[in-house]
Amino acid sequence: MSKRLIVLWLGLALTSSAALSEEPSLKFTTGVYALSGGALPSSHGLDVNLRQSSQLGNIWGAWYRSPEAQVSQPRMGWDNSFDMPRWRVMPSVQIASGGFMGGSLSVETGETFFAGVGLGRTNLRPYVNLNFDPNDAWMASLGYRWSSMQSLSMQVVKDNRQNPDQQHLHALYRSPLPNGQRLTLDLLFKSGLVEERMVHRTGLSVTYDFPHYFTRIAYDPVINFTPQSMWRVSVGARY
């Protein structure tokens, strides 16, 4: 399955390159993940992700490995945004080794003030969820844009399939800085059952963008509604 995923991603990347009259935009990200707590053994993970943006949308391929947890999974996906007179339609699909398939569909309206709703579904096969929000869920968002680079929004993601008690609430702020830099803050409030006990926790992700590079650090408690918490450090480049 992993070899077929790699071949498929390369084929899609070459197809999208041929559809462009200029060089594609690429983003390469490396993330290091550290899990601890919950009276469980600590573990670490490494994820590498290569994303290509073109007229066909965003096509990405990634691979995650955690030696201590004995987990290794390549995956790939596609997403895009289609502008209509009053709406923006944003579909996405993902596949991974082990037979996993999933997707989402969101719609958004408004420019300065904006609002959106969405739905995600999977085939419930094992998946390394590095999106961290529930995948089988409905989503709703509301926000305000000062410009394309500065915005404040709220988004709720609530499981509506296997674990309807699980919910994420994001408060997301993006702001431009001098010299083409940008700061993104994502404050996370989560609630849900962890080992039959209702928990309420707060996490935070901070991303600092330079014109061609970016770095991100995040703290996420009871990650994916397990007893452990996670620190994440990511660095990446655009070219």
pLDDT of amino acid 69: 87
Q: What does the pLDDT average to over 67-90?
A: 95
Mean of per-residue pLDDT scores for the chain = 91
Q: What does the pLDDT average to over 160-177?
A: 97
> How large a percentage of the chain has pLDDT more than 70?
90
Amino acid at 5: L
> How large a percentage of the chain has pLDDT more than 90?
86
Q: What does the pLDDT average to over 180-204?
A: 97
pLDDT of amino acid 79: 97
Instruction: Read off the pLDDT of residues 221-232 as tens digits, 9 standing for 90 and up.
Output: 999 999 999 999
pLDDT at residue 81 is higher than 50: yes
Instruction: Read off the pLDDT of residues 91-101 as tens digits, 9 standing for 90 and up.
Output: 999 999 999 99
Instruction: Read off the pLDDT of residues 4-29 as tens digits, 9 standing for 90 and up.
Output: 554 455 555 545 444 444 554 899 99
Confidence bin at 55 (pLDDT 50/70/90): confident
| pTM of the complete model | 0.88
Q: Distance between CA 174 and CA 183 in Å, rounded?
A: 6
Give Cβ neighbours of residue 234 (< 8 Å, ≥ 6 apart).
29, 30, 31, 32, 215, 216, 217, 218
Give Cβ neighbours of residue 213 (< 8 Å, ≥ 6 apart).
235, 236, 237, 238
45-191-108 Cα angle (round to 5): 85
Q: What does the pLDDT average to over 57-85?
A: 95
pLDDT of amino acid 20: 47
The residues spanned by each domain of the chain are 33-44+77-238
Q: Between the CA of residue 44 and those of 41, 63, 67, 79, 108, what are the distances in Å?
A: 10, 14, 7, 28, 37
